[in-house]
Chains A and B, each alone.
Chain A
Amino acid sequence: MPTFSYREFGHPVREDLRAAHTETWQHLANPGAWWTGAERVAIAAEVRLARSRREDPPWLRNDWPAHTGPLPSGAVTAARRIAVDAHGLDRAWCEETAAELGDAAYVELVSVVVCTTAIDAFAEALGTPHEPLPEPLPGDPTRERPDHMGDGGAWVSMTVPFQGPNVARALSLAPGGQMAFMRLVGAMYAVSDFTQLVWDRPLSRPQVELVAARVSAVNECFY
């Protein structure tokens, strides 16, 4: 059972944040629509491996350990690239990978990568150890594809029509992953108060947006 105590930080971490991280780990351990629990946890492990070596120059990445777990090699490559080289991805690579894995399976993989990244990056920022990855739970993927998917201008199908920013529907081809990630977004940033420009929080809205914008720029993210 995950704890997300963040004890080593030496100061309190708000309970709703810890609860959101715990729920995400429980979601990660379960079968999804296209990947088993064991495969989803293996994707998270690849994210950790890649993040731990994210400062390696590209020519050293060929020396990264070969994966011997349950994932197809295309999934290993995708998880690692999204974890450390997301800014260098392009439509051709995405479409090729989605054709190999299945487009909805690709988006579910992305959801696992981004949830793991958000939680691990938080722990690293606080200077606390990573939470151990969860034990995978048994069961088969549901293989359910959501309705109302279409061309929203992205490389993958998304919910159409949609009212809101594209980032809020980017993962909609994997509804479970989309919900899990947006739960994290709500706990770690904003959802209901997104349009309120003045926040009554420990950090002011401009302070939060300054951190957010710098993270985006360091990652060379145009969006």
Chain B
Amino acid sequence: MVLLRASSEAIGTEANLDATVGRGDGGIPAGAALVAFAEAATRGSAELADVRAEVLTAVGPECLVEAAATVGIFNGLVRSADATGIPLDGPMRDASEEVRASLGLDAFSGAANTRARTGPARAGDATQDVARLFGE
């Protein structure tokens, strides 16, 4: 969520994060098709072939490969996180606090692995949050 918001702001746009829970296109070009593709491919649902064809029409084969690669690696990444119980990194935890609550993500069972923020809320700067993960 933080990276979606930050990368949108970096190009002067504002993403609607509701798309991440299946509501709308996020205000992202071809967003509706990409969301449907991510969902169908992850679930292995019967609509996948049709949705794939929509993405192919909307963005072309090179972009479809990139979307498929993202689907693939994130299906791996979420399992790596959930099978090892890693906590959400502090900067990301702080930056995503409001959006997690509004989208209902705190109800996911993996939320139990992350301690709540103990300091005061701060104005988020998502770009700095990404850099802070690497100590920059």
Among A127, A155, A203, A221, which residue has its beta carbon within 8 angstroms of that of B66? Answer: A203
Among A87, A165, A207, which residue has its beta carbon within 8 angstroms of that of B31? Answer: A207
A124 within 8 Å of B (CB atoms):
yes
A149 within 8 Å of B (CB atoms):
no
Least Cβ–Cβ distance between B47 and chain A, in angstroms: 12
B57 within 8 Å of A (CB atoms):
no
B95 within 8 Å of A (CB atoms):
no
Q: A110-B84, A189-B70 are in contact. List 7 more A-B contacts (CB 8 A).
A: A165-B89, A181-B80, A185-B77, A188-B73, A207-B63, A211-B71, A217-B20
In this complex, the interface size class of chain B, counting residues with CB under 8 Å from chain A, is 35 or more
Q: Is the CB of B84 within 8 A of A188?
A: no
Q: Which 6 pairs of residues, A with B, have the shortest CB-CB distance?
A: A122-B72, A155-B85, A222-B110, A118-B76, A11-B61, A125-B68
Q: Is the CB of A125 within 8 A of B37?
A: yes
Q: What are 21 inter-chain pairs, A to B, with CB distance below 8 A?
A: A82-B79, A120-B72, A153-B86, A153-B113, A155-B84, A163-B134, A188-B73, A197-B10, A204-B7, A204-B28, A206-B26, A207-B28, A208-B66, A210-B26, A211-B35, A211-B67, A212-B70, A213-B3, A222-B105, A223-B82, A223-B88
Q: Is the CB of A118 within 8 A of B75?
A: yes
Among B10, B44, B82, B131, which residue has its beta carbon within 8 angstroms of that of A221? Answer: B82
* Majority secondary structure of chain B interface residues (helix, strand, loop or mixed): helix
Known: A86-B82, A94-B85, A221-B82. A206 touches B76 (CB 8 A): no
Least Cβ–Cβ distance between A114 and chain B, in angstroms: 4
Q: Is the CB of B88 within 8 A of A14?
A: no
Interface segment out of the listed A37-45, A63-71, A139-147, A166-174:
A166-174
Interface residues in chain A, defined as those with a beta carbon under 8 Å from any beta carbon in chain B: 9-14, 17, 51, 54-55, 82-83, 86-91, 94, 107, 110-111, 113-115, 117-127, 152-156, 158, 163-167, 170-171, 181, 184-185, 187-189, 194-195, 197-198, 201-223
Among B29, B44, B61, which residue has its beta carbon within 8 angstroms of that of A55? Answer: B44
Within 8 A of A (CB), among B52-99: 52, 59-89, 92
Least Cβ–Cβ distance between B95 and chain A, in angstroms: 13
Known: A12-B61, A121-B42. A222 touches B108 (CB 8 A): yes
Closest to B6 in A: A197
Q: Is the CB of B134 within 8 A of A223?
A: no
Q: Is the CB of B20 within 8 A of A210?
A: yes
Residues on the B chain within 8 Å of A114, using CB: 76-77, 79-80, 83
CA distance A187 to B106 in the complex (A): 30
Residues on the B chain within 8 Å of A223, using CB: 78, 81-82, 86-88, 110, 113
